[in-house]
Amino acid sequence: MAGTILITGANRGIGLELATQYAADRWRVLACCREPQMAKDLRSICETTSGRMSLYPLDVTDNERIRELAIQLKGEAIDILFNNAGIRGSDRQSFGNVDVEAWIQTLRVNTIAPLKMAEAFVEHVARSRRRIIAIMGSIMGSLSENASGNQYVYRSSKAAVHMVGRSLAVDLRSRNIITVLFHPGWVKTDMGGASAPVSPGDSAAGLRQVLACLSQKDSGRFYDYEGNERPW
Ligand SMILES: NC(=O)c1ccc[n+]([C@@H]2O[C@H](COP(=O)([O-])OP(=O)(O)OC[C@H]3O[C@@H](n4cnc5c(N)ncnc54)[C@H](OP(=O)(O)O)[C@@H]3O)[C@@H](O)[C@H]2O)c1
């Protein structure tokens, strides 16, 4: 049965694919992005969904706007709160050459925003049937899989959001909320670049399949888009 999903960063990349596929599958899609009026692809998909998709302006670093949106959507039961929005950070993230201001901004988007979204939308998720909070992590944030070093900004922001997800899984267990971390694959998007082997369509389809099979025992786990559990 179709449900309701809220997606951040829904205007391009994996977020746009998730929005497109869930809408095609007759879900209600609350598609959030910084500038809906500029989001041409998302808007044209929205027009084909017979009102099942709605667009909302949301910069995930704006805590006041997050709270406002939660109030605006207070009647909604949100089956999946998908924290997808993310940034790579900076070209300067090698040893001896780290852009500290960009690092702080990256933490705001990749690490802090998913927690602020969970806090603002916990009641919406709790009243839904599936009760899932999904967070886009990355294998780049895995401690045990880091054999190549470098990328201090992005790696640390994703490692930190993995820990945010683990704590959410513990703190929200009594509400029967499942919190899950994802690695979407190395995906051909603006972030992943042209050489990435996985298409946004395949990544989103895989993530949807994993999401469809989750149960409470999966809360606090880290899966890739093919359903493999990945090491922290
Ligand atoms: N692509 C990969 O290979 C890969 C691998 C591992 C993990 N990931 C993760 O997967 C997620 C999606 O990545 P992607 O490849 O689809 O990246 P992308 O194509 O670069 O898209 C990033 C999305 O995040 C949004 N965003 C950035 N800052 C935002 C903010 N402050 N508020 C709201 N939205 C914001 C962007 O919106 P604007 O258009 O407004 O900038 C855009 O919609 C990210 O969390 C990324 O870290 C990607």
**For 72-82, how does the pLDDT look when each residue is reduced to its tens digit (9 = 90+)?**
999 999 999 99
Q: Mean pLDDT throughout 211-227?
A: 98
DSSP character for 108? I
**C-beta separation of 211 from 225 below 8 A:** no
The alpha carbon of 174 and the centre of ligand 1 are apart by a number of angstroms equal to 31
What CATH number labels 4-224?
A: 3.40.50.720
**C-beta separation of 5 from 121 below 8 A:** no
- Residues in CB range of 215: below 8 A, 6 or more apart: 178
pLDDT of residue 47: 97
- Token output for 69: 């949106």
**For 165-202, how does the pLDDT look when each residue is reduced to its tens digit (9 = 90+)?**
999 999 999 999 999 999 999 999 999 999 999 999 99
Instruction: Write the residue with the smallest CA distance to atom 33 of ligand 1.
Output: 59
For the chain, domain boundaries = 4-224
**For 6-61, how does the pLDDT look when each residue is reduced to its tens digit (9 = 90+)?**
999 999 999 999 999 999 999 999 999 999 999 999 999 999 999 999 999 999 99
CB of 61 closer than 6 angstroms to any ligand 1 atom: yes
- Token output for 120: 């603002």
Which of helix, strand or coil describes residue 153? helix
| Positive or negative: CA dihedral 143, 179, 64, 28 | positive
- Token output for 169: 């899984």
- Token output for 70: 């939660």
CB of 15 closer than 6 angstroms to any ligand 1 atom: yes
pLDDT value at 208 more than 90: yes
**C-beta separation of 78 from 54 below 8 A:** no
Which is the closest atom of ligand 1 to the Cα of 187?
3
CB of 101 closer than 6 angstroms to any ligand 1 atom: no
**C-beta separation of 121 from 68 below 8 A:** no
d(CA 181, CA 134): 6
CB of 187 closer than 6 angstroms to any ligand 1 atom: yes
**C-beta separation of 131 from 178 below 8 A:** yes
d(CA 220, CA 158): 15
The mean predicted confidence, pLDDT, of the chain is 98
